[in-house]
Amino acid sequence: MTLGIDGAMRLRAAALGLLVMPSAAAAHHSHGEFSGETYEIEGQLASVVWRNPHPAFTLRLANGDGQDEIWRVQVQGNVNGLRRDGVSGDRFVVGERVRIEGHLSTRRPTLLLATRARLADGTEIILGPDESSGSAVYRRSAAASDPQATAQVRGLFRVWTVASRVRTQDLPLNEAARSAKAAWDSLLDDPQRGCRPLGMPGAMMSPHPIEFLQAADEIILHLEEWDAIRTIHSASGNGTGNHDPTPMGHSVGRWEGDTLVVTTTHIDYPYLDEHGTPQSDAVEVVERFTLSADERSLNWTATVSDPGTLTEPVVAFTTRWEWVPGEEIQRYDCAEFDPL
């Protein structure tokens, strides 16, 4: 199927082995405007922006009239995840020709969500998470493997890498909340446009690693995405009293055996997730972080109660992290890419 770009764009069937999955499943940000079908364009790289939350290109293509046409390409993956997969921005050189496969925007002409690229020398580069597991997480980099560290089990306090993530799709929203979510525009209302970080609890549903650190009577939770920091107070310390609302809220933790139970209130953030599900200032999130028996995986659930938007409490999110010896938290440098 030709789309008027001199034959450079063609519909590609999934039977050819291309990875096609529902949009918005593979990344932390909403990709709801992109079609599920896979297309291909080929042209000359006009610019490269290799920054989080997603790298971006512009391509110069010749249309059917022989005139140059500029296409905008948003990469499905993010810089940190691609780096762990061995993909760096210096592989893409302005002026060289490149073939890009991805999903067309249904709302903005000449915008593509890229899933893979083929360079002029024939090198093929995957531009998103590993979808073969069905959980859309990044592959483990060979660099994050330290044989001498495999025996250094240290309980909760280390870096954890996402193995799988599950969200409850049909939340028990009240009528007002359902109407508000239906009116949410995934393009114009995306809370992360302009490099604005997510608040709780959606900030925890990230494809990036997290790290727990012990600090006196507090636990510091470092989220790689957005370079975010959460402080989990001890119930016997700073866990009571009045607190100003913030996007991350006020978190208080206690231990139940090997499970860290964290209750977060005072959340000043309008969305439960990155898909426009509303939440009120009455929201309360109870998280349970449970180590496996061999202490090599960490299971997490987040139960959300919100009398302003939910008809009943619900386990909204579940994640399993794994310990990858040698993995470290990377910096999250964000640069706005707003191809409106």
Count CB-CB contacts under 10 A for residue 255. 11
Q: Which of 311, 72, 68, 5 is nearest to 171 (CA)?
A: 311
**Per-residue pLDDT reduced to its tens digit, 300-328:** 999 999 999 999 999 999 999 999 999 99
Structure tokens at 22: 């529902």
Question: Checking DSSP bridges between strand 56-62 and strand 259-265, what pairing results, if any?
Answer: unpaired
Tokens of 207: 């494809």
> Are the beta carbons of 245 and 281 closer than 8 angstroms?
yes
Q: At the fourth CATH level, which superfamily is domain 147-322?
A: Calycin beta-barrel core domain (2.40.128.20)
Which residue shows structure tokens 């560290």?
149
At residue 4, the pLDDT reads 35
**Between 320 and 107, the higher pLDDT residue:** 320
Fold of 14-126: OB fold (Dihydrolipoamide Acetyltransferase, E2P) (2.40.50)
For 128-154, the pLDDT digits (tens) are 765 444 344 444 444 445 555 555 657
Separation of alpha carbons 11 and 152, rounded Å: 50
Q: Report the pLDDT averaged over residues 14-31.
A: 35
Query: What does pTM read for this prediction?
Result: 0.79
> CA–CA separation, 277 vs 270, rounded Å?
8
DSSP 121-178: TS-EEE-S-B-TTSS-BPPPPTTS--GGGTT---TTSSEEEEEEEEE-SS--B-HHHH
Tokens in use for 38? 């896979």
For residue range 241-268, list pLDDT tens digits in order. Answer: 678 999 999 999 999 998 999 999 999 9
Q: Which band of pLDDT confidence, cut at 50, 70 and 90, is reported for residue 338? A: low
Are the C-beta atoms of 234 and 252 separated by less than 8 Å?
A: yes
pLDDT band at 191 (very low <50, low <70, confident <90, very high): confident
**DSSP-assigned letters across all residues of 176-232:** HHHHHHHH--TTTS-TTTTSPPP-TTGGGS-SS-EEEEEETTEEEEEETGGGEEEEE
Q: Spell out the alpha helix ranges (H) of 102-232.
A: 175-183
* Distance of alpha carbon 39 from alpha carbon 173, whole angstroms: 36
What does DSSP say about strands 250-256 and 228-234: parallel, antiparallel, or unpaired?
parallel
- Quick one: pLDDT at residue 240? 54
Average pLDDT, the chain: 83
Q: Are 327 and 159 in contact (CB under 8 A)?
A: yes
Give the strand pairing for 210-215 and 159-167: antiparallel
Cβ-based neighbours of 164, under 8 Å, separated by 6 or more: 133, 135, 137, 319, 320
Paired residues of 206 in beta bridges: none
338 near 194, Cβ under 8 Å?
A: yes
Provide the residue ranges of all domains of the chain, joining segments of one domain with +. 14-126, 147-322
C-alpha to C-alpha distance for 327 and 141, rounded to whole angstroms: 9
